[in-house]
């Protein structure tokens, strides 16, 4: 796996995030699966974890990622934060590829994608349980990676 492969797979992961976010209405942001996080707080958490990892090596650059409020963040704020943090994460992959720490670029990539997929699943479950289930076409579109 080359660094370019990591960048492309990270781009697709972010495109899946943005597509799922586009299917979430503002009204659905307060839905949650039982005692879990709300749809909104899952999105805010994803951004917050990206920011936390970037701050370890790129504090100045990470400051460009908006700090979102888990109770009030809007869809537009979340989208912007996902885009900014996506772009900045390339810096982290590059650093880990040349100077590994407890992470290598591939190891961190695997962690980050697994983490975000977990929270996308929580969002999908919250939408289903809250009566805002995605259509089959919308669900399948999340897996049509060549078109993302």
Number of C-beta neighbours around residue 52 at 10 A? 11
pLDDT at 94: 98
| pLDDT digits 0-9 by tens, 92-137 | 999 999 999 999 999 999 999 999 999 999 999 999 999 999 999 9
> Domain residues of the chain, as ranges?
3-147
Whether the CB-CB separation of 33 and 129 falls below 8 Å is answered with yes
Q: Tell me, what's the pLDDT at 133?
A: 94
pLDDT above 90 (res 35): no
Res. 148: pLDDT tops 90: no
Query: Domain 3-147's class?
Result: mainly alpha
pLDDT in tens, 47-81: 999 999 999 999 999 999 999 999 999 999 999 99
142 φ/ψ angles, rounded to the nearest 5 degrees = -70, -20
**Predicted pLDDT of residue 101:** 92
Specify the pLDDT at position 37: 96
116-119 LR contacts (CB < 8 Å, sep 24+): 116/13, 116/17, 116/46, 117/13, 119/37, 119/42, 119/43, 119/45, 119/46
- For range 14-21, the mean pLDDT: 98
**1: confidence class by pLDDT, cuts 50, 70, 90:** confident
């Amino acid at each position: 796996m080359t660094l370019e492969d990591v960048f492309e797979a990270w781009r697709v992961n972010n495109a899946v995030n943005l597509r799922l976010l586009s299917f979430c209405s503002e009204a659905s942001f307060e839905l949650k699966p039982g005692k879990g996080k709300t749809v909104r707080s899952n999105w805010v958490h994803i951004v917050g974890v990206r920011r936390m990892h970037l701050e370890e090596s790129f504090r100045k650059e990470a400051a460009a990622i908006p700090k979102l409020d888990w109770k009030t963040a809007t869809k537009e704020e979340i989208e912007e934060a996902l885009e900014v943090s996506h772009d900045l994460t390339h810096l982290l992959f590059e650093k880990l590829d040349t100077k590994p720490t407890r992470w290598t670029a591939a190891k961190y990539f695997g962690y980050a994608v697994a983490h975000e997929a977990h929270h996308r699943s929580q969002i999908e479950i919250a939408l289903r349980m809250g009566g805002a289930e995605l259509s089959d076409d919308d669900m399948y579109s999340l897996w049509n990676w060549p078109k993302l």
